[in-house]
Amino acid sequence: MSDPVARLTPLGVAVLALLSEGDMHPYEMIRLMHFRRDDRLVTITNGTVYHTVGRLERAGLIAEVGVDRDGNRPERTTYTQTDAGAAAVLEWVRRELPRVDRPAEFRVALAEVHGLDRDEAIELLQTRREALSAALDSLADGQRHALGKGVPAQYLIEVDRELALLGAELAWMDATLPRIADPDFAWGPEPTPSQRYLAQRKAARQ
Amino acid sequence: MSDPVARLTPLGVAVLALLSEGDMHPYEMIRLMHFRRDDRLVTITNGTVYHTVGRLERAGLIAEVGVDRDGNRPERTTYTQTDAGAAAVLEWVRRELPRVDRPAEFRVALAEVHGLDRDEAIELLQTRREALSAALDSLADGQRHALGKGVPAQYLIEVDRELALLGAELAWMDATLPRIADPDFAWGPEPTPSQRYLAQRKAARQ
DNA sequence: AAGCGTATAGTCCACGTGGACTAATCGAAC
DNA sequence: GTTCGATTAGTCCACGTGGACTATACGCTT
């Protein structure tokens, strides 16, 4: 119920992930997320972001660190990630990564999987692989059953597509798991260009 | 704004599609949709279904056709589809079928594509095919760009998966469009087993 | 015949979403 | 030097969702 991890939304996770790269005010998050095309994964509007930030603060996952002001522009409230916030992202990723329902959550979890240890990530993805395989079998079974009962094929086009996509995801997993298990595949924190940019800007301010 | 088609939700379309097979009360819709595993496409709860039915009625897409009662059980309100409702489903499918954003809407639209003429369906899907292809190119471009800027590969796993799934969907389309264009592939209204069952039950009641 | 679980049919409400709106400021063109 | 558009920063609200809750009736056990 009041478990803050359970109440995290995909956008909440995206905001926490942003804040792990540096303190920020909501409007800056919106710009940065648009720049990074995070709107591919979650819908980013003023309404959702400001509201989400408010909820994250009430849950103690982020905290206000001051109100600054640039010239005469509106003042802006800057937030920082708390330890509880950093832990909550990882816990949320652990929960969502192996689930095959909730595709939207999974994509965000996959985008944040680099925060986990390599071995744990592989194990969770392996669990998902088995669940995907079972879902595919069950759907294929349903298709056979429906065709057997005389349901005309034109009513089963969507199922046909779903089977194709499930198969493709399984194939991707079977190609990807060995790839990231390979020690030659880099893992763990390595600065991205935008992290280097943020760090540089922070240093310049001091 | 007040265009009823624009305000249709996936569940609303699913409800309208059900009613095109016969008059029904909400509780029966819920059972039937669960039986058909429509919960694969939309989330079905009492809250959503009853609320959706209310909205559809206020929009004039369905209409009350009487309150009957089975023994001493609670009375139930039966609804029927209006002409406007039947037209709205087709219009909605035409709108959602070619769009590549909104995957949830697309799946429901694809499940209802059999209501359109074969030629129109193929044309709309062809449009989607081109949009998908463009989306794939643009995402692949973004990936190349990110790698070129030095973003480590472990941060791009989700993009890699997305590219694989987009490719698979394109392949499915290229296999499916010729398949349904073939005159040997049946198209148009053909009774499904559950439609036959509903028709039979209706005849028995009279 | 009392008790218990499940099916039937529906209401209610807290919450998250996403789009509309406000308001000030800066830059550029005319 | 003023008008106009874009940018900055944030508030507000209508709506849809989904889970919790209610209440009656039927069937099965003990």
Q: State both tokens at A138.
A: 């069950």
Contact between B61 and B45 under an 8 Å Cβ cutoff? The reply is no
Q: Indicate whether A204 pLDDT > 80.
A: no
A199 CA to D21 C1' distance (Å)? 52
Q: Do A107 and B158 touch (CB under 8 A)?
A: yes
Question: What dihedral do alpha carbons A127, B162, A194, A54 form, nearest 10°?
Answer: -70
- Among A82, A170, A176, A103, which Cα is nearest to A130's? A170
Tell me which DSSP letter residue B62 carries.
E
Alpha-carbon gap, residue A147 to A74, rounded angstroms: 63
Reported as type and span, the H/E element at residue B76 is strand B76-81
Alpha-carbon gap, residue A195 to A71, rounded angstroms: 26
pLDDT in tens, B150-166: 899 999 999 999 999 99
Residues sharing a CB contact under 8 Å with residue A19, sequence separation 6 or more, in sequence order: A29, A62, A79, A80, A81, A85
Q: How far is B78 from chain A (nearest CA, A)?
A: 26
Banded model confidence at residue B194, pLDDT cuts 50, 70, 90: low
SS3 (DSSP) at A67:
strand
Helix then strand then coil, in percent of chain B rounded to 5, is 65, 5, 30
Q: Which of residues 54-93 of A touch strand C (CB under 7 A)?
A: 55, 71-74
Assess B41–A contact: CB distance below 8 Å, yes or no.
yes
pLDDT in tens, A69-105: 565 556 789 999 999 999 999 999 999 999 999 999 9
Q: Write b or e for each residue in B110-126: b if 16 or more Cβ atoms lie within 10 A of its Cβ, otherwise e.
A: bbbbbebebeebbebbe
Phi/psi at A77 (nearest 5 deg)? -95, 125
Global confidence as pTM: 0.90
Give the amino acid at B74: P
Mean pLDDT of B82-94: 97
Q: Do B162 and A190 touch (CB under 8 A)?
A: no
Q: Do B157 and A164 touch (CB under 8 A)?
A: no
Contact between B75 and B68 under an 8 Å Cβ cutoff? The reply is yes
The count of residues in chain A is: 206
Name the more confident of A60 and B195: A60
Residues sharing a CB contact under 8 Å with residue A22, sequence separation 6 or more, in sequence order: A195, A198, A199, A202
Among B160, B172, B185, whose Cβ lies nearest the Cβ of A161?
B172
Assess B200–A contact: CB distance below 8 Å, yes or no.
no
Segment among A54-58, A122-126, A196-200, B147-151 with least mean pLDDT? A196-200
SS3 (DSSP) at B78:
strand
Alpha-carbon gap, residue B194 to B32, rounded angstroms: 9
pLDDT in tens, A8-55: 999 999 999 999 999 999 999 999 999 999 999 999 999 999 999 999
Q: State both tokens at B86.
A: 């039947």
Mean pLDDT of B101-122: 97
Residue found under tokens 């029904």: B24
